[in-house]
Amino acid sequence: MKILIIQPWIKQGGAENISVYLAYYLKKRGEEVKITALFTDLKKSPPIASQVDYLLPNKRLSQLFKKSKLFFLLFGPLVLFWLTFIHSKEVGLLNPHNFPSCWVAVLVGKLRRVPVVWHCHEPPTRISFKEAKSLGWLDFLGWFFASSLVDKLLVKGVKKIIVPSKKTQKEVKQRYGRSSRVINLGVDFNFYQQRGREKLKCRYNLSNKFILINVGKLSPQKNQVVCLEAFKLVSKQISEGILVLIGEGQDRKRLRALIRNKSSSGRKNWRVFFTGFLSPEEVRNWYQVADINLFSPVNQSWGFTPIEALCCRVVSIVSDDCGVASVLKKERIGLVCPAKAKPFAENIIRVYRQRSKFEQMGQKGHLWVKKNLTWEEYAEKTLQVITG
């Protein structure tokens, strides 16, 4: 089958990586798959991203879309529509992902009489005025438009919807009145088996430390404040504990200010470290030395980091407001609680005091992920939905 995946851009990011892995493994199965996008930035993407076929506008336009958010908002949807339209001749399926891909696919699908199967990673929602102050007013306007009545009307033209979790399935039902198929997202399991922990332990003198990590963009949605508050509560009981925040984002200044305030009112050395952006290989090394992975987002459709941590046999403490929580809870391969400091702190102490028990849980999760959450399996299940 000739499949056209539609993404506004390809760069480092969860939804973008889903498109890349899906295209790669569908292609390995013998399908003819290409991705239409406005620009690519493969430096921080998985290595296999360079083995996928992309359909892009000319180089000058791509650079403008990459550099200017305003230019993207004004002209991106039109150019993405045109790109999809001219490359959709003789295509058997349109497969949109992030906004405005679904809108583009439905309109092109009507003109070309091509079915649309939408990978809805997260239904669009409006951001508040408070969030707009940190995220920016262009993002506010973009999501205001994306979550308008037009969205509900156009989604009626989608033949089938695929979602990553039961949480997103419920949200799709509430917003669109549509049924959807849950396919849990995959992980590059073999990548996380490559060893690098010893170099990291020596480099940072991590012997005899109890290491908590948080991996992700520093933002209000990822909610690293909960990790800081929880670590504050347990820091006296876990004297050898350190918290490592891995990632970059607009919340970094606020988090640093919070640490300074708490340190000045209590401990001089609060043992919290920011790494900034790290390569996938460096992140993998931190998973391998970690004792606990903390994942505390609000309204997250899935959540890659608890699954990545399990690839390295590390248990996560996870917010109950994310899609992956239901899987971890059902399979008993993680700790799920409200995204608040006290429950997170209580679970940190549980893991600290019962390490052998949670090492066994990490081993169980490691084997379960290896068996059930590969990208090959994800592509296979997607193909079953497409052809079913």
Q: What is the DSSP string of 243-276?
A: EEEEB--TTHHHHHHHHHHHHHHS-S---EEEEE
Q: Which residues pair with 182 in a beta bridge?
A: 163
Q: What is the CA radius of gyration of the chain?
A: 21
CATH number for the region 189-372 comes to 3.40.50.2000
Q: How far apart are CA 76 and CA 42, in angstroms?
A: 19
pLDDT at 43: 85
CB count, 10 Å around CB of 107? 18
Residue 187, phi then psi, degrees to nearest 5 = -150, 150
Q: Which CATH architecture has domain 2-186+375-387?
A: 3-Layer(aba) Sandwich (3.40)
**Eight-state DSSP code of residue 322:** B
Angle of helix 137-146 relative to helix 69-87, nearest 10 degrees, comes to 40
| pLDDT for position 129 | 63
- What is the model's pTM? 0.91
Torsion angles phi and psi, residue 6, rounded to 5: -120, 120
What are the average pLDDT values for consecutive 10-residue runs of the chain, which has 388 residues?
96 89 96 97 88 97 94 95 96 96 98 97 79 66 82 96 97 96 96 83 85 95 95 93 94 88 55 91 94 96 97 98 97 98 98 97 98 96 93
- Comma-separated ranges of CATH 3.40.50.2000 domains in the chain: 2-186+375-387, 189-372
